[in-house]
A and B are shown apart, each in its own frame.
Chain A
């Protein structure tokens, strides 16, 4: 009776498209839109999903409290698969659909690619998942910011801690053979020299290294007090640590922000015990006093949220704060106004997301704390105070 002819299917599809179009057009005109090239698939999806959740939660909070100057915040984002050409496509798509003054980018490659366009347009500021040292240059990248210390500053924080704990310590740097991995090597050497630390070996591994036995032998020869990894998420860190333990090496292992999510270490188990690293934010389960933001997050999300969540949350917070300051001044939302407003952020209270009041003198928030993983408790525990580094 009702057979599916081609004409009927076409008609049906057209109908669906029409209804969908109407639905999509519901968005408010005067929203302040945060654009986002966010990796929801691909190698970086684990972070992208968390980042999106963090940004959405902060935006929901702002909107429930009446928005910014009566205007609601809205996140317009799309998946990039962590590929630069797709990120740029998303950027072009979103900027031609909405008026966007705030943007979240997903990678160093994307940030560098879009930078000339950003400088040309001058209409927005951009944060993102990249903490590349190269982007932390207000001269070259006047419209960029990062919601944390750049990779060089992360290593600097670790080294400050090391210099405090073990003056004159021997350090081995292990970096992946990627732009991400090689980023802080130069500056790490300088920082180590400044603090009187000795870099006894530098190891570069291929990004997909699985077998690390030769590298572990180098470690054994170098006998470092600390081994600092950068440019990895998880692999091959557990392998390194297991083999080093088997050889009876005393070295302490450290990592940077993207390896510091405690959920990824839970599955590693016992060998992960004692892994340290730098983290600019509090962890989800950090119940230290006086952190209303953390309490609020735990109230909104009963389950553990990854570190990417905190990164997204703070990114949205800094964007919103800049927009609020610009609008309070009665100025227009332009790249330079927003960035100038962001640079006026001084001793700003994040509600405990970061343990001390923060300032943004340039493109980064150069604050972090050293945490250590406890396999017994399955938690990262703070082992230092909040450390601020200034160039």
Chain B
């Protein structure tokens, strides 16, 4: 039971983890992450890696949409920019992986800032349409800039190497994807303890007031676009190493919608929301596979019969969360935490 958290220093007030149980759970969670690849088979490890890549991209989008209030449907296109950057660097220069990933983030951020320019004038749905338009322009570039992007058939990416070790198995890739994603999430969490992050929130809550408070809107909106795209670019770079081929069809508009859905389902404007949302959206359809598998001994041809149902159930789950948990799944976690705060004296 925790009655209150007495904070005696400013440091403690600004800390990411404020209570003892939080610290303990975080330690357990990190230990579990370290242990995962030793206990999971290729399938689960693949899913965990994919979920982590999505976590990175969703966290980026969360900074932009959840914290700064700028609706974007271009996140997947920025991922594509990152993926192409990595693919191109690997093919042409063969530079080290970490350099490539950083470059992927940098190039994506530059493109993101460019795309973000209209955000000063247009908001909400209008901005969403502007970002969709940007992703179509980028798609056109990917298809037609053949010397760089390889045109419609894309680029095959050689495996990443790290000090001479070829990262070809999911087990090895995990040790790259995990720290990179963890760093990105940690960075995002810390961002909102700084002036920049708080300025983003001010812009979201009321941009005119923010400007009155001395926050230059253009600079901060573009900064938000830049950071979000950097995240997308790095995730896209990881994606390129993970799937080893990048084509213009690798990142369809649907992938942007997927990421937006992830942060809405998870909980916009909370770091935890982006993480949970991305994990949920990646894993839930796979979990439903097992439901199909369980009933298949009784239903002849269950695979063909029930697979369409799987998509329906997944869709219904999303609608259900939106209706019954409009704050996102992160809110459920918060409620559980509140419950245990006074446990066992009050339930």
Contacts and interface: CB of A to CB of B under 8 A. Distances in A.
B308 A84 contact: no
Contacts of A16: 294
A89 B47 CA distance: 7
The bracket for how many chain A residues form the interface is: 35 or more
A56 B308 CA distance: 19
Interface of A: 16-17, 20-21, 23-24, 26, 38, 40-41, 45, 49, 52-53, 77-79, 81, 84-86, 88-89, 92-93, 95-97, 109, 112-113, 115-117, 120, 134, 177-179, 181-183
A6 B248 CA distance: 48
B294 A116 contact: no
Contacts of B286: 89
Given A85-B50, A113-B244, A179-B153, A24 B311 contact: no
A84 B47 contact: no
A178 B294 contact: no
Nearest to B295: A20
Interface in B188-245: 243-245
A120 B166 CA distance: 12
13 contacts: A41-B307, A49-B304, A79-B292, A84-B250, A92-B43, A93-B43, A95-B42, A96-B43, A112-B245, A113-B244, A113-B245, A179-B247, A181-B152
Among A23, A115, A134, the one with the most B-chain Cβ atoms within 10 Å of its Cβ is A23
Among A79, A92, A177, the one with the most B-chain Cβ atoms within 10 Å of its Cβ is A79
A177 B308 contact: no
A372 to B, nearest CB: 30
A34 to B, nearest CB: 13
Contacts of A120: 168
Nearest to A132: B153
B151 interface: yes
B21 interface: no
A96 B42 CA distance: 7
B244 A116 contact: yes
B43 A81 contact: no
A309 to B, nearest CB: 13
Nearest to A42: B311
Interface in B12-59: 41-43, 46-47, 50
Contacts of B296: 23-24
A77 B243 contact: no
B341 interface: no
A179 B47 contact: no
B310 interface: yes
B161 interface: no
B310 A109 contact: no
A109 B250 contact: yes
Given A40-B304, A41-B310, A85-B50, A109 B298 contact: no
B118 interface: no
Where chain A touches its partner, the secondary structure class is helix
A20 B152 contact: no
Among B170, B286, B307, B310, the one with the most A-chain Cβ atoms within 10 Å of its Cβ is B307
Contacts of B170: 92
A86 B297 CA distance: 23
A179 B311 contact: no
A182 B307 contact: no
Contact of B308 (A41, A88, A182): A41
B43 A84 contact: no
A16 B290 CA distance: 13
Contacts of B153: 134, 179, 182-183
Interface string B153-189: 1101001000000001010000000000000000000
Interface string B295-324: 111100001100110110000000000000
Contacts of B311: 41, 81
A182 B289 contact: no
A78 B42 CA distance: 16
A89 B242 CA distance: 12
Contact of B50 (A89, A179, A182): A89
B280 to A, nearest CB: 15
Given A88-B243, A113-B245, A116-B168, A78 B303 contact: yes
Contact of B247 (A17, A93, A95, A109): A109
Contacts of B285: 81, 86
B143 interface: yes
Nearest to A53: B304
B152 A89 contact: no
Given A84-B243, A179-B249, A79 B152 contact: no
Contacts of A134: 153
Nearest 9 CB-CB pairs, A to B? A23-B297, A79-B307, A20-B294, A40-B307, A92-B43, A93-B43, A182-B152, A96-B41, A179-B152
Contacts of B250: 84, 109
A45 B308 contact: yes
Nearest to A133: B153
Nearest to A56: B301
Contacts of B295: 20
A20 B297 contact: yes
B338 to A, nearest CB: 20
A53 B297 CA distance: 18
A17 B294 contact: yes
Contact of B46 (A17, A20, A92, A109): A92
A23 B298 contact: yes
A24 B297 contact: yes
Contacts of A95: 42-43
A113 B289 contact: no
Among A86, A96, A115, the one with the most B-chain Cβ atoms within 10 Å of its Cβ is A96
B305 to A, nearest CB: 9
Given A134-B153, A178-B152, 5 more contacts: A41-B308, A79-B289, A179-B249, A182-B151, A183-B153
A26 B297 contact: yes
Nearest to B298: A23
A269 to B, nearest CB: 28
B308 A89 contact: no
A108 B107 CA distance: 28
Nearest to A97: B43
B93 to A, nearest CB: 20
A376 to B, nearest CB: 33
B160 to A, nearest CB: 12
A49 B151 CA distance: 31
Contacts of A112: 154, 156, 245, 247
Nearest to A26: B297
Contacts of A53: 304
